[in-house]
Structure 1
Amino acid sequence: MLYTLPELLAVLIVTCGIALQTVVGIGYGLVAAPLLYLIDPAYVPGPVLLVGFGLALMMVIRERRALRWRRVLPAIFARVPGAWCGAALLVALPQYALSLFFGFSVLTAVLLSLWRFSIPTTGTSLTIAGFFSGLMGTATSVGGPPIALVYQQQDRITARSEIAAFLLIGTPVSILMLIYKGSLDWHSAQLSLKMLPGLFLGFFLARLIDGKLTATSAKPLLLAVSGASALMVAIKGLIGWLG
């Protein structure tokens, strides 16, 4: 399989995002999606979601002993209407509006990640987070921050495993909604296949840095990269709107 320079850069971005999420429970979509969008908008949301499903599957298999499926079920059920709304939004908006929505959604996700307000992990909070995760995840492929916000009080292993379980079931829901709305095609599948080496490289890299990198130490870099790239996407949409 031959790679162009932008495609190799995409693999590198995916590798870094996968390694971050495998270690701290969040980071793949937040870091990879806006950077990949700047390379080619076709990467978002379909290909990013397809690779994200592979990551969720690998993490659930690894963390299966720490999982409590019953607790995360409200979020999984709420993702369905959220994903439908996200897919409908994706079809309804023109390209410049999608860039604006995507950029400001990721910036909102960055601000949510900075929020230190304590939210208890209850059925109600998980339901609300699941809905917004479905909406944002389907429209922009960045659905992790709303659910991660609810898991701030949990330890790293619990949060990492249960967020992975949520994404394992929730991501295919978003993918099916995109297929139903005609927003996922063969080209998206090809881009996903080319990003697969980044999935396996990132998962392997995470084993080397796990324990050396924590959510606290990774957070400033993660949010800085995500915020800067999201701002560039928003500016790109603003230029399109004005031009």
Structure 2
Amino acid sequence: MIEVLLVNLILLIGACLQGLLGFGLGLFSAPLLFLLAPQYVPGPMILNALLLTLLMSIRNHQDLQWRQTSYALAGGTVGVLGAALLMSVLIFSQYRMLFGALIVIAVLLSVIGAKPQLSPRNNFIAGIFSGFMGTATSAGGAPMGLLYQHAPPKLRNANLSVFFLYINVFGMVVLWLGGISGWADLWLFLQSVPALLIGWGMSGFVGRHLPGQRLRQLILLVAFAAGLMSVLL
């Protein structure tokens, strides 16, 4: 019972952060759930992210720029297939170390402060890494977030929401067909929906009282610590 409550609390906070910052569900929730209830990673967490990115896509679709996004989608396809292939041959202890290492890399990418140019080539490259990390860990936001960090907010939200919507759908299909995911993941996702919707709904209220930069720093700190524990334990 306590585990169920903690899982839903983690998902609620992650969904709230996603609504506030445009990212956070995977980077905050996935490493904590991997330590507490590893059955939620990656399948159910990808489905959770799919629900929220669908909501974001509906909200921001009018600002989408297809030329940039199409290159990111192509790169993401390559990354998803690479992650699924690797996951099909790893045992759990190897996957745990890979998961932790990728989370740590995602956090480091988020704090580097680099300013890559928003170009078709960089969209393709970032798409590969985000697709790979998103499928392997359900926390693939860092590479694409780094690329779009200085883009106009409406363009950033529209392009990223459509990219991650596609990556989550494609990644889930590949994992399902590869036997890595199944009906149990769907059931865990359905149990998560109330917490996700409550967290998403709370984001508007919370955003009026808490600075986004402090929340972003908290996500990165928690994710880094959990990722490091996954590697070392």
Query: Is TM more than 0.5 here?
Result: yes
Residue aligning to 1:240: none
1:74 corresponds to which of 71, 83, 99: 71
Residue aligning to 1:129: 126
Q: 1: CA distance between counterparts of 2:158 and 2:18?
A: 11
Residue aligning to 2:164: 167
State the percentage of identical aligned residues.
33
Indicate the SS of the match to 2:155.
helix
In the TM superposition, residue 70 of structure 1 has moved relative to its aligned partner by: 3.1
Query: Are 1:23 and 1:213, in contact at CA under 8 Å, matched by a contact in 2?
Result: no
Residue aligning to 1:27: 24
In the TM superposition, residue 80 of structure 1 has moved relative to its aligned partner by: 1.1
* Stretch moving more, 4-13 or 211-220: 211-220
* Stretch moving more, 69-78 or 88-97: 69-78
The runs of 5 or more residues in structure 2 that have no matched partner are none
User: Could you say if the C-alpha distance between residues 209 and 69 of structure 1 is closer, same or farther in structure 2, counting changes exceeding 3 Å?
Assistant: farther
Per-residue displacement from partner, 1:49-70 (whole Å, max 9, x unpaired)? 0011000011111222332233
In the TM superposition, residue 156 of structure 1 has moved relative to its aligned partner by: 3.2
Match of 1:218, as an amino acid? L
Indicate the SS of the match to 2:116.
coil
Q: 1: CA distance between counterparts of 2:137 and 2:146?
A: 18
In the TM superposition, residue 213 of structure 1 has moved relative to its aligned partner by: 4.3
User: Could you say if the C-alpha distance between residues 188 and 131 of structure 1 is closer, same or farther in structure 2, counting changes exceeding 3 Å?
Assistant: same
Residue aligning to 1:114: 111
Match of 2:56, as an amino acid? M
Match of 1:99, as an amino acid? R
Query: Are 1:138 and 1:174, in contact at CA under 8 Å, matched by a contact in 2?
Result: yes
Alignment map for 1:64-213 (pairs within 5 Å): 64-213=61-210
In the TM superposition, residue 158 of structure 1 has moved relative to its aligned partner by: 2.8
User: Could you say if the C-alpha distance between residues 160 and 101 of structure 1 is closer, same or farther in structure 2, counting changes exceeding 3 Å?
Assistant: same
Q: 2: CA distance between counterparts of 1:129 and 1:230?
A: 21
Q: 2: CA distance between counterparts of 1:22 and 1:214?
A: 13
TM-score (norm 2): 0.95
Match of 2:186, as an amino acid? A
Query: Are 1:23 and 1:214, in contact at CA under 8 Å, matched by a contact in 2?
Result: no
In the TM superposition, residue 220 of structure 1 has moved relative to its aligned partner by: 1.2
Match of 2:76, as an amino acid? R
Q: 2: CA distance between counterparts of 1:209 and 1:68?
A: 30
Residue aligning to 1:43: 40
In the TM superposition, residue 231 of structure 1 has moved relative to its aligned partner by: 1.3
Per-residue displacement from partner, 1:18-44 (whole Å, max 9, x unpaired)? 111122111110001000111121111
Per-residue displacement from partner, 1:52-96 (whole Å, max 9, x unpaired)? 100001111122233223321111121112101101111111111
Question: How many residues in Structure 1 have an aligned counterpart in Structure 2?
Answer: 233
Match of 2:77, as an amino acid? V
The runs of 5 or more residues in structure 1 that have no matched partner are 237-243
Indicate the SS of the match to 1:92.
coil
Match of 1:175, as an amino acid? M
Indicate the SS of the match to 2:218.
helix
In the TM superposition, residue 197 of structure 1 has moved relative to its aligned partner by: 1.1
**Superposed CA RMSD:** 1.4
Q: 2: CA distance between counterparts of 1:21 and 1:214?
A: 14
Residue aligning to 1:239: none
Q: 1: CA distance between counterparts of 2:194 and 2:2?
A: 15
Alignment pair present for 1:217 and 2:218: no
Q: Which runs of 4+ in 1 moved over 6 A?
A: none
Query: Are 1:25 and 1:156, in contact at CA under 8 Å, matched by a contact in 2?
Result: no
Query: Are 2:18 and 2:200, in contact at CA under 8 Å, matched by a contact in 1?
Result: no
